[in-house]
Amino acid sequence: MGERSLRLCILLATLVVPSCSGVGYPLHHYAEVYTRSELYIPPPAAEHVSQEVERGRYLVQLTGCGACHTDGALIGEPNAARLLAGSDIGIAYTDPLSEARPGVAYPPNLTPAPKTGLGGWSDENVVAAIRSGGHGRSGRLTVMPWAFYRQMTDQDASAIVAYLRSIPPVEHAVPSRVAPGSPAPAAYVYFGVYRSGPSVHSGP
């Protein structure tokens, strides 16, 4: 067979990005890392828990909340002591390949910690964040995969909230969201989808 005119390969690329420079980065300055950590979501500490809480734990495991909201998980090095307690490593929500200083969001603390976690959030705030990526105070978080969760039933959303309320509070403050054009205070990753053409992938 002759050479195909075009073969497309869709890749999920994850890049750890230094955040201190004020100039753009050539691609070779990025380092590929494996980010999909297999995280075990433990049961609540209470001896007897409701079916709703068990359902919430299952859904938190299924949706992979810990992969972003656990410190270190974004680079494949999750800190078990900070499970679901937020990440000091952020996620660029604008393109760092074309911007010297992209916007960066740091996944927040999902434990019921009163100062740095969900302790001050209402159940309605938490459900809104799950379904729309924001709860009205900080605006929609574009890297939050809320589009996958917006059709979640009220029962499932409430179960997630019940589980998050049941886990031990961990006081851990993550960096504030960084607007595009501002320097990021800590490292971050960038998720992108790239398409290769026939110069890279060709064959019979």
How many independent structural domains does the chain possess?
A: 1
| Surface-to-core class of residue 37, CB atoms within 10 Å of its CB (0-12 exposed, 13-18 middle, 19+ buried) | middle
* 114: in domain: yes
Nearest of 134, 146, 138, 162 to residue 58 by alpha carbon: 162
Supply the pLDDT for residue 6.
Answer: 26
The answer to whether position 1 is within a domain reads: no
Please give the pLDDT value at position 94.
87
Split at pLDDT 50, 70, 90, the class of 141 is: low
User: pLDDT band at residue 76, thresholds of 50, 70 and 90?
Assistant: confident
| Res. 150: pLDDT tops 80 | yes
Q: Which residue has the higher pLDDT, 149 or 47?
A: 149
What's the pLDDT score for residue 97? 81
Instruction: State pLDDT tens for residues 94-120.
Output: 888 888 899 999 999 999 999 999 999
Query: pLDDT higher for 77 or 43?
Result: 77
Q: What is the mean pLDDT of the chain?
A: 76
Domain annotation covers residue 101: yes
Tokens of 192: 């992108």
- pLDDT for res 178: 92
Q: How confident is the model at residue 139 (pLDDT cuts 50, 70, 90)?
A: low
- pLDDT: is 16 or 126 the higher one? 126
Higher local confidence (pLDDT), 136 or 169: 169
Residue 33 has what pLDDT?
Answer: 47
Per the CB < 8 A criterion, the answer to whether 60 and 66 are in contact is yes
Say yes or no to pLDDT of 175 above 60: yes
Whether 79 maps to a domain, the answer reads yes
Does residue 49 belong to any structural domain of this protein? yes
Asked if pLDDT for residue 60 goes beyond 90, the answer is yes
At 4 the pLDDT is 34
Q: Cβ(9)–Cβ(203) under 8 Å? A: no
- In the structure encoding, which two tokens stand for residue 194, read together? 């790239």
Range(s) of the domain holding residue 61? 10-195
CA distance 130 to 63: 11
In a domain? residue 181:
yes
Q: What is the pLDDT of residue 21?
A: 37
Q: 13-36, pLDDT tens digit by residue?
A: 334 444 433 334 444 444 444 444
Output the pLDDT for position 145. Answer: 82
Is there a domain that residue 5 lies in?
Answer: no
Asked if the structure places residue 74 within a domain, the reply is yes
